[in-house]
Amino acid sequence: MSARTSVARRTLATPLILSALLIVFALLAWFVGSKPFNQTIIDIFLRVILVVGLYIFVGNSGVISFGHAGFTCLGAYAAAWLTMPPMMKQTLLPGLPEWLTALQLPYWAGAGLAALWAAVWAALFGKILMRLSGIAASIATFAMLAMINTIYSNWEDVTGATSSVVGIPIVRTVWPYLIAAILAVFIAWAHAISRAGLALRAARDEPTAASASGIDLPRERLIAFVVSGAVMGMGGALFAHSIGVVTPDTFYLGLTFITLSMLVVGGMGSLSGAVIGVLFLSVLIQALRWLEAGVTIGASKFALPNGVQEIALGVVMILILARRPSGLMGNKELGWRRAGSVAPDVSGQKQPDLSKGVSK
Amino acid sequence: MRRLGADGVTVAFDGLTALSEVNLAVAPGRITGLIGPNGAGKTTLVNVLTGFQAPTGGAVTLDGTALTGLKPHEIRRKGIARTFQGGRLFRDLPVIDNLEVTGVGLGQSRRAAIAEAEAMLDWVGIAALADRIAGTLPYTDERRVAIGRALMGRPGYILLDEPAAGMSAAEAADLAALVRRIALEMGCGVLLIEHNVGLVLELCDHIVVLDSGAVIETGDPAAIRASEKVRHAYMGTAAEAQMPEGVA
Ligand SMILES: Nc1ncnc2c1ncn2[C@@H]1O[C@H](COP(=O)(O)OP(=O)(O)OP(=O)(O)O)[C@@H](O)[C@H]1O
Ligand SMILES: [Mg+2]
């Protein structure tokens, strides 16, 4: 019997290549050394964490979630509660329990607990939501987001309601964000190649056959929901530390839209797609911003009128989706053998024998 | 006694009675045939036996214990496997992964599931297809993969819903040989649903004939062949032409 190489070994190239890509971006920030550019790269890493977190559930289950920004909100406020100086908490958030007010953890410990906190809520919400399918499930996730947003916008002495919570310790170097983004990529990869990930992807297109194969679909969905909730929570905590301020609306419709767009443009069914989608759209957004601010060519200064950025972004997204409905990566992953020959999604077409050499 | 049974199963879809008081038993190592015209309720009965359809009356029993209220994946874990009329492979996954998914669903590690999947593909005789994407397979191969997938974890029973539909005579003969091996070599109880009556008469130890949701005849192939009722309700004159064909 031919011994197949283990699944982990066969697929390890994907997270490694993606991590290398992220490291290149971090080095770029380091070499350039300008403050705004540094912040731009940090923002990119944060989006990588959030979009990869979203991918863990949406990509594997095929259920679109409009609610994941809610977990980011939970994570961000948890980070505020855990890391702000007690003095600030006393004045801004007088409703916090005493032990929490007195606590001041380092940002990384706060981020870890924030991930756990978001995961607990994902488990509670998921218990109910994961029984639903299709559009009903998607709308229910949106309802969850609206609930979280409403609670955080009104619970004055615990969340500060709609006013900004300031005084969260700011972390300005790119490295923690880089490490967290790489961690997110590896978590997503580990989940995707786990039994739970395989079962969920099988059920994505054939739920009936999956049940007939012994798969407990609500359970597998719940696992993905919790893992992805944790990653979103960690992303939320780091988000808070990147700017030092949180408001509930930072984690609402705008964030939901941008993260989903990046995932869909990159390729919903692919971890590589999640990362590529973020990098591609972020670079595009940044380039348009620079153009809007104006570039000097020779003697004349050239600047795009304001608002062009949003319009151009929309046009590019529509064009990509028109040409590649399943995103830049389709269902494919970056790998050693396929690097450089990332084919568009050709499901239904006979595949070349690419996989032969990899899997035997 | 070891058996998978439908005991007085009734299914009513609002207004329409798809099954009324159907009794049927599948025994380990034996091939039971289920035939009947289109819309007779054959697939509905398979759905009841595998937990996809709750019966309005009666019960499904495994070795005398009722399986009432169990979900499809729980029933599969009790060793009752099925295939689907439409194939329903995991289209985007390679063939080997299609089998692996069942192993994983049954609680195996991925490594163990892959090992069993390889052995199973070999046993079914389609080892060469292991790395093909399931969605690209021709019809006949698709059926074999579906059977291989259902056989993962060595189920006690397998319910085959029209596995030979659309096959040529030679392909149907190959399939017949496979079904026989499933019963003899694996000791698996087989329920075979087929429109190819010749195939059923050739393969089965015992046959149940369903018409409009009711059992109209049961017996061994000779008895079914001789039955006036069956001839009347199901075969008509067309059956004479169909019977010798397909057995090949
Ligand atoms: N979910 C459902 N809701 C309503 N009616 C249904 C449902 N499923 C099946 N039926 C009806 O029940 C009857 C039996 O259908 P079933 O699919 O079991 O027949 P069958 O014997 O498998 O037919 P075929 O040989 O065409 O596969 C048909 O009249 C069908 O229209
Ligand atoms: Mg049918």
In this prediction, residue B241 carries a pLDDT of 41
Collapsing DSSP states into helix, strand and coil, what is residue A308?
helix
In this prediction, residue B34 carries a pLDDT of 96
Ligand 1 atom with minimal separation from the B210 CA: 21
Collapsing DSSP states into helix, strand and coil, what is residue A180?
helix
Is the pLDDT score of A298 beyond 90? no
Looking at the CA of B53, name the nearest ligand: 1
A75-79, A308-312, A344-348, B195-199 — which is least confidently predicted? A344-348
Q: Are A324 and B112 in contact (CB under 8 A)?
A: no
Is the pLDDT score of A1 beyond 50? no
C-alpha of B235 from chain center: 21
Ligand 1 atom with minimal separation from the B213 CA: 14
Residue bearing the CA closest to ligand 1, atom 4: B13
A242 to A44, A162, A258: CA distances (angstroms): 11, 19, 18
Tokens of B177: 């040989």
Instruction: Say whether A351 and B136 touch across the interface (CB within 8 A).
Output: yes
In this prediction, residue A331 carries a pLDDT of 83
A11-15, A352-356, B111-115, B131-135 — which is least confidently predicted? A352-356
Q: Are B98 and B145 in contact (CB under 8 A)?
A: yes
Is the Cβ atom of B38 under 6 angstroms away from ligand 1? yes
Q: Are B43 and B194 in contact (CB under 8 A)?
A: no
Q: Is the ipTM of this complex over 0.85?
A: yes
Is the pLDDT score of A240 beyond 90? yes
- Of B71, B76, B92, nearest to A213 by CB-CB distance is B76
Residue bearing the CA closest to ligand 1, atom 12: B18
Chain B: give the shortest CA distance to residue A334, in Å: 17
Q: DSSP letters along A111-124, please?
A: HHHHHHHHHHHHHH
Chain A: give the shortest CA distance to residue B234, in Å: 30
Is the Cβ atom of B42 under 6 angstroms away from ligand 1? yes
For residues B71-77, give the mean pLDDT: 97
Which residues 284-303 of A have a C-beta within 8 angstroms of B?
none
Instruction: Say whether A355 and B94 touch across the interface (CB within 8 A).
Output: yes
| Band (B109; pLDDT cuts 50, 70, 90) | very high
| Band (B234; pLDDT cuts 50, 70, 90) | low
- Compute, in degrees rounded to 10, the torsion defined by CA atoms B172, B177, B178, B183: 130
Locate the chain B residue with the closest alpha carbon to A196: B104
In this prediction, residue B246 carries a pLDDT of 38
Per-residue pLDDT reduced to its tens digit, B10-19: 999 988 999 9
A37-51, A155-169, B83-97 — which is least confidently predicted? A155-169
Instruction: Say whether B119 and A1 touch across the interface (CB within 8 A).
Output: yes
Is the Cβ atom of B86 under 6 angstroms away from ligand 1? no
Is the pLDDT score of B213 beyond 90? yes
Looking at the CA of B47, name the nearest ligand: 1
Residue bearing the CA closest to ligand 1, atom 18: B41
Is the Cβ atom of B16 under 6 angstroms away from ligand 1? yes
Phi, psi of A297, deg, nearest 5: -115, 115
In this prediction, residue A335 carries a pLDDT of 84
Q: Which of B11, B20, B42, B44 should be mutated for ligand 1, with most atoms under 8 A from CB?
A: B44
Higher pLDDT, residue B236 or A18? A18
In this prediction, residue A356 carries a pLDDT of 34
Is the Cβ atom of B43 under 6 angstroms away from ligand 1? yes
Instruction: Say whether B73 and A193 touch across the interface (CB within 8 A).
Output: no
* A359/B contact by beta carbon, under 8 A: yes
Instruction: Say whether B97 and A193 touch across the interface (CB within 8 A).
Output: no
In this prediction, residue A104 carries a pLDDT of 93
| Band (A307; pLDDT cuts 50, 70, 90) | confident
Q: Are A30 and A174 in contact (CB under 8 A)?
A: yes
Per-residue pLDDT reduced to its tens digit, A111-124: 999 999 999 999 99
- Tell me what the pLDDT averaged over chain B comes to: 92
In this prediction, residue A346 carries a pLDDT of 38
For residue A360, the CA-to-ligand 2 centroid distance in Å is 38
Ordered by where they begin, the domains of chain A are 3-356 (1.10.3470)
Q: Are B96 and B172 in contact (CB under 8 A)?
A: no
Per-residue pLDDT reduced to its tens digit, A72-102: 999 999 999 999 999 989 989 899 999 999 9
Locate the chain A residue with the closest alpha carbon to B92: A347
Environment class of A261 (CB within 10 Å of its CB; exposed 0-12, middle 13-18, buried 19+)? middle
Assigned superfamily of B4-88+159-235: P-loop containing nucleotide triphosphate hydrolases (3.40.50.300)
In this prediction, residue A342 carries a pLDDT of 34
Is the Cβ atom of B36 under 6 angstroms away from ligand 1? yes
In this prediction, residue B235 carries a pLDDT of 53
For residues A56-67, give the mean pLDDT: 95
Q: What percent of chain B has pLDDT over 90?
A: 83
CA distance A101 to A89: 6
Is the Cβ atom of B187 under 6 angstroms away from ligand 1? no
- Which residue out of B71, B92, B120 would a mutagenesis test of the A interface target, given it has the greatest number of A Cβ atoms within 10 Å? B92
Q: Which of B90, B113, B132 shows the shortest CA–CA distance to A7? A: B113
Domain boundaries, chain B: 4-88+159-235
CA distance A92 to A247: 13
Contacts of A210 in chain B (CB under 8 A): 90, 101, 105
Q: Which of B9, B28, B16 shows the shortest CA–CA distance to B212? A: B16
Is the pLDDT score of B135 beyond 90? yes
Is the Cβ atom of B44 under 6 angstroms away from ligand 1? yes
Instruction: Say whether A4 and B52 touch across the interface (CB within 8 A).
Output: no
In this prediction, residue B236 carries a pLDDT of 52
Higher pLDDT, residue A291 or A55? A55
Is the pLDDT score of A316 beyond 80? yes
* A348/B contact by beta carbon, under 8 A: yes
Locate the chain A residue with the closest alpha carbon to B118: A1
For residues A212-240, give the mean pLDDT: 97
For residues A211-238, give the mean pLDDT: 97
Instruction: Say whether B88 and A347 touch across the interface (CB within 8 A).
Output: no
- Which residue out of A6, A60, A213 would a mutagenesis test of the B interface target, given it has the greatest number of B Cβ atoms within 10 Å? A213
Sheet holding B206-211, edge to edge: B80-82, B157-161, B189-193, B31-35, B206-211, B214-219
In this prediction, residue A9 carries a pLDDT of 87
Angle between helices B169-186 and B139-151 (to 10 degrees): 10
Residue matched to tokens 């309601």: A161
In this prediction, residue B97 carries a pLDDT of 95
Instruction: Say whether A208 and B52 touch across the interface (CB within 8 A).
Output: yes
For residue B195, the CA-to-ligand 1 centroid distance in Å is 15
